[in-house]
Amino acid sequence: GLNGLNDATKNYVRNASKITIENNIKEAKSKFGKYNHKSRKDMETIKSLKKKDCYYLKADKGNTIVILDKEDYLNRVSKMLDCDLYRKLKRNPLNKFIGDTKQIIKESKNVIPSNEAYKLIVSNPILPRLYCLPKIHKDGKMMRPIVSGINSPTYLLSNFLYKNFSKFKIESASVKNNIEFTDRIKNVEIQEGEILVSFDVKSLFPSIPIDETL
């Protein structure tokens, strides 16, 4: 409190406190006003983009959002699919997919307990869905294909296998990013006559022969 202070000191403290409070209020209003102004601009931008036929995609690498015209997106994906790695099916494969999955689960009694088998059957499954992410870290209009298996016939089976295989402690042969790679090789000594090389395999996963891999 101000008890025990003379009048001059009391007035000084009151005025100083008043000025401090007023300055804090002005600063808060300034920040709040800027925030609102920025938010309004953001909202206006979002509204204008909503009127356009666009897709909002996460970039293949990095925490970046890419706004891509729908027609441009579809053209890129169509161009990517126009190669020998993909083929158009004559009929819907969903029923066969469901039947094959159920048969695999039924024949895997040594791996899948009988009380777990029925839990791996997806109700009203759908076909896996393809979507693509733009590779903004590379030249051109390249896209990375992603196949989402959510609610597909093998969705629950895949989760079951992943959960059980994860129990085995196997040293990973992959790295998350270049930082982890650098950390792994920092103590590796390149001997005379040796070189360190890096290969970028085009369409790696679609090119892997499934039967030979299994």
Tens digits of per-residue pLDDT, 138-149?
777 788 888 999
For 124, the 3-state DSSP assignment is coil
Reduced to 3 DSSP states, what percent helix, strand and coil does the chain have, rounded to the nearest 5? 50, 10, 40
pLDDT of res. 125: 95
Closest alpha carbon to 120 in 107, 135, 133, 138: 107
Could you give the CA distance from residue 194 to residue 120 in angstroms, rounded to a whole number?
Answer: 50
Task: Determine how β-strand 143-148 pairs with β-strand 54-58.
Answer: unpaired
Res. 8: pLDDT tops 70: no
pLDDT of res. 178: 78
Could you give the CA distance from residue 117 to residue 122 in angstroms, rounded to a whole number?
Answer: 11
pLDDT in tens, 101-132: 999 999 998 889 888 899 999 999 999 999 99
Average pLDDT estimate for 14-28: 65
What Rg do the C-alpha atoms of the chain give, in angstroms?
30
Res. 213: pLDDT tops 80: no
Where do the domains of the chain lie?
69-186
pLDDT of res. 6: 60
Higher pLDDT, 87 or 202: 87
For 90, the 3-state DSSP assignment is coil
Higher pLDDT, 5 or 160: 160
Residue 44 pLDDT grade (very low, low, confident, very high; cuts 50, 70, 90): confident
Q: Check: CB of residue 78 under 8 Å from CB of residue 145.
A: no
Average pLDDT estimate for 82-90: 85
Q: What is the pTM for the complete model shown?
A: 0.61
